[in-house]
Amino acid sequence: MSPHRIKKWEPDHFELELNTVWSFPERGNWATHDAKYRGNWSPYIPRNLILRYSHERDLILDQFAGGGTTLVEAKLLTRNIIGVDVNDSALIRCHEKCDFERINSGVVEIRKGDARHLDFIQNESVDFICTHPPYANIIEYSSDIENDLSRCNVSEFLAQMKHVATECYRVLKKGKFCAILMGDTRKNGHVITMSFDAMKLFEAAGFKTKEVIIKEQHNCKATGYWKTNGIKFNFLLLAHEYLFVFKKMAH
């Protein structure tokens, strides 16, 4: 994408979120952002997190980079970032989305890798982790990539997220923050609270939970199939995710 095709570099009238319920009905289409990568997050989420939990020229990590939303926001906000994904198609898109010139922008490094083993990142070298893993296999990003956690069922996924949490704790500097967006799912009419299970894994890895933010989802309207079944089987449609902010304490 060439820079001259970008019509708008920043959101209009942006204000930091001030409470624990976040909702972005217009997901944000500035710079190179679009909604085409399945399950990508609104750029308002990393923008809020990056501004609140990092400084200019800090090093940020998104080890589930997907379509590159966090990378674009870090670059625009003069932060350096390492973006990692197991999937080549995600990495191609990350390169495309970050291919713009902007004065005073951050440096983006894009790597193929596995969020459980970030051997190329030194201990305590990252200033902020801002990431969005798959929610087990709710969206399967591949059918054949061995290390793709979106191919795991819930219990396998949580077993692997334990390694992700340990790796987050290893690479993050003391006194810094790690933000993760997670969703739940349903089985046989009951909620599987995998978000909170994941939160507990991060606490077990050493983190202290600083914030639990509820993020409203706007792509799950109660219509058609879901409306009919929700009423017939008496369940509510899940319309929120959790954004956890963890702190690695200084001592």
Ligand X SMILES: C[S@@+](CC[C@H](N)C(=O)[O-])C[C@H]1O[C@@H](n2cnc3c(N)ncnc32)[C@H](O)[C@@H]1O
Residue 241 lies near ligand X (rule: CB under 6 A): no
183, 192 contact by CB (below 8 A):
no
* CA end-to-end span of the chain: 45
Q: Which is nearer to ligand X, 141 or 207 (CB)?
A: 141
Our finding on whether 44 is near ligand X (CB under 6 A) is no
C-alpha span between 230 and 237 (Å, rounded): 7
Near ligand X in 147-186, by CB under 6 A: 147-150
Least distance from C-beta 185 to ligand X, angstroms?
A: 14
**8 Å CB contact between 60 and 114:** no
Helix then strand count (H, E) for the chain reads 6, 10
Of 17, 114, 184, 241, which one interacts with ligand X (CB under 6 A)? 114
| 106 lies in the site for ligand X, by CB under 6 A | no
Distance of CA 31 to the CA centre of its chain: 18
69 binds ligand X (CB under 6 A): yes
| Alpha helices, H only, 77-216 | 88-97, 154-171, 194-204
Let me know the angle formed at the C-alpha of 203 by 198 and 204, rounded to the nearest 5 degrees: 95
Per the CB < 8 A criterion, the answer to whether 84 and 118 are in contact is yes
Which one of residues 134, 136, 157, 215 is an interface residue with ligand X (CB under 6 A)? 134
Closest contact distance (angstroms) between CB of 131 and ligand X is 7
**Segment interacting with ligand X, rule: CB under 6 A, options 3-11, 146-154, 167-175, 209-217:** 146-154
Q: Binding of ligand X at residue 41 (CB under 6 A)?
A: yes
**Does position 90 bind ligand X by CB under 6 A?**
yes
How near is the Cβ of 82 to ligand X at its closest, in Å?
12
Token pair of 60, please?
């940020």
The only residue of 35, 39, 52, 240 in contact with ligand X, by rule CB under 6 A? 39
Judged by CB under 6 A, how many residues of this single chain contact ligand X?
27
From candidates 98, 115, 154, 182, binder to ligand X by CB under 6 A: 115
Burial status of residue 83 (CB atoms within 10 A of its CB: 0-12, 13-18, 19 or more): buried
Interface ranges with ligand X (CB under 6 A): 37, 39-41, 63-64, 66-70, 84-87, 90, 114-116, 132-134, 141, 147-150
